Amino acid sequence: MTLERAYWTAKAAGIFRPRIKLTEFVPQSLSLPPRMPEVNSAWKGIESVLGDLLTRFEVPRHDCLEFGVEHGYSTAAFASFFENVTGVDTFTGDIHTNVFGDFYAATTQRLSVFPNVKLIRGDYRDWIASDSKRYDLIHVDIVHTYVDTYACGLWAAMHSRCTLFHDTESFPAVKQALIDISRNTGKRVYNYREHYGLGILV
């Protein structure tokens, strides 16, 4: 159970606001992208529904931005579909990951087989303060607090055609942030319940 005050405040406030419908996303086909790295990742399984998801929501395949790269599993999946993938991460882990130390060099080496991937070592807060570009897709998979997911996710929703949020089923704070961003932007929200949950905002 999370003790984050902002999450409980948002959840309580939601009781008095219009209900947001989460439509279940049911993939029609599964296809494993090539060259997926052999690393631990809670994202495993989602890579196989990505092609179907992008087709279903008519997402162009030029520019993808990811917040939260870690060992590069999700980044590698995006690299199979998009011309350009930019991954932003502190590469030092957070309170919800079991990984500590600096893993930038190892992740850079692992993803070197993808010439279309550019990794940026930095904090999402610095990135969103200085980038005004629009992306076809933005993936939010950073520390799973309400405050950070809402701040990063709202910016992402305003700068992309499609925004993905990982861990909607394993972290209530992520699902609450997704619901509140949908309410505040008017975007539709879908949820894929497998593999810890993936929110889809379009």
Ligand X SMILES: C[S@@+](CC[C@H](N)C(=O)[O-])C[C@H]1O[C@@H](n2cnc3c(N)ncnc32)[C@H](O)[C@@H]1O
Contact yes or no for 9/178 (Cβ under 8 A): no
**Is residue 142 involved in binding ligand X (CB under 6 A)?**
yes
List Cβ neighbours of 119 (8 Å cut-off, separation of 6 or more): 69, 75, 86, 87, 89, 104, 107, 108, 111
- CA 190 to the chain's CA centroid: 14
- CA 127 to the chain's CA centroid: 15
The H or E element spanning position 107 is: helix 104-110
**Is residue 42 involved in binding ligand X (CB under 6 A)?**
yes
Minimum CB distance to ligand X smaller for 20 or for 147: 147
**Is residue 43 involved in binding ligand X (CB under 6 A)?**
yes
CB of 192 to ligand X, least distance (A): 15
Q: Which of 47, 136, 141, 180 binds ligand X (CB under 6 A)?
A: 141
Letters for 93-112 (x = contact with ligand X by CB under 6 A, - = none) are xx--x---------------
Q: Which residues bind ligand X (CB under 6 A)?
A: 41-43, 67-70, 73-74, 88-94, 97, 123-124, 141-143
